[in-house]
Amino acid sequence: MRRNDNSNTTTPDAQAASTPHTSRLTPHASTSHVSRLAPHETRSTRVVKARLLDPFTGRDEIGDLAFRDGVIVANEGHFDETIDASGQWLMPGIVDLCARTRDPGATQKGTMRSESNAAFASGITALCLPPDTKPVIDNTAVVIRVNRIAKAAGGAFVYMLGALTKGLEGDALAEISALKSAGCVGVTNGLAPVANALVARRALEYAASLGMTVHVVPLDAALANNGCAHEGAVATRLGLAAIPVAAEAVAMRQWISLVEDTGGRVHFGRLSSARGVELLAAAKARGLPITADVAAHQLFLTDAALEGFNALAHVIPPLRSAADREALREAVGSGLIDAICSDHQPHELDAKTNPLPLTEPGISALETLLPLSLRLVHDGLLTPLTLAERLVRGPAQVLGLAAKGLSIGATADLCLVDPTHLWLFDATRMNSVGRNTPFIGEAFQGRATRVWRG
């Protein structure tokens, strides 16, 4: 069993005021240490007086929970450690639907060890790796290689999406059956375009015959036209090549039509627009097997973050208007959008120092996934239990993972959260190799204090 302890004692920090005040904030704590338990270390733990949040059963109550050797057990007998979690929330570990570790193939940006341990320290006990590694995850040999790297790294458990097409080149289908047998939990072409609707249909039929979900980042390549900003006033003023909302809408309409024809399952990843939300709602209203997620940064930032040619806010799909952001937030609150993910993409300094259109898109986002999501609770958009649903149950269902709640016998993949802890996000204390985030210096309320992976 692996354990991460972000606190110095088993007693939680004293409760702080609900409104952040910079004079009372603590620095961003470095939490990179993740260890394998030696024989003499704690193997049994009892957490008492916690608010227990189980999105799989709807449980939301103050109580105790015990686990031994990585499995939740009855609260009876002796335990090596007792944690007083008064004022804190205990929930299953977060499942992140999209996080790149850059390993293999781009280890100057991050490694499996650095990024999976950064995830674990941030309350994420499982993450899903897209196939755009080098080499691409399009055959069983690469799946075996990545599994070996992940196992040696420790940290969060790594699931993989296999490539939809060979080399992500968009034309010839990958051996999806072999990828499933090797352990891939879905397939995707990521941001790489599929050659045409016929290839997309055949891929969806192939995946459907195997009971696999096709993960789609809905972005029509022709309409996106290598742009780097939302089509709006900011892009016009800065002279940046724009990506219209139509690029998302057109791609979604095509895949929805193919789902209607084939019955295959599609998951839309990283929605960015109000129009995308409308299309998702219409598809779900017809009972189509479609789910969706949104990156946490899309729920707080808009294209205004690009002012001053801020490359740290360069992401694909782009940050859009305030109206788009509000539509995404409402969809998360209602449950129309099933999950919140990090869309973690660490970069080295040079990748963000060119003129904005030439910089690489993406945010180092593992360490802000939970804190940003907690803002939705503080804003009254989510309850603590629905937060757990968007971060745990929704992603797990998308990936087809067996329920791992707080019931006796479940694996002890757990995250203890102090929702009142006030702290400043400090780049120098990040666990991820990537420092590319626009949230540096921001005040946050709430963080993971203890994390266990059974």
Catalytic site positions: 343
CA angle 328, 390, 132 (to 5 degrees): 80
Please provide residue 239's backbone torsions phi and psi, each rounded to the nearest 5 degrees.
70, 35
Which residue blocks in 379-421 are alpha helix, DSSP H? Answer: 384-388, 394-399
Please provide residue 133's backbone torsions phi and psi, each rounded to the nearest 5 degrees.
-85, 180
Q: How far apart are the first and last CA of the chain?
A: 5
Tell me the C-alpha distance between 393 and 451, whole Å: 17
For residues 225 and 241, is the Cβ–Cβ distance under 8 A? Answer: yes
Q: Name 328's Cβ contacts closer than 8 Å, sequence gap at least 6.
A: 271, 272, 273, 274, 277, 294, 298, 299, 337
For residues 217 and 187, is the Cβ–Cβ distance under 8 A? Answer: no
For residues 359 and 314, is the Cβ–Cβ distance under 8 A? Answer: yes
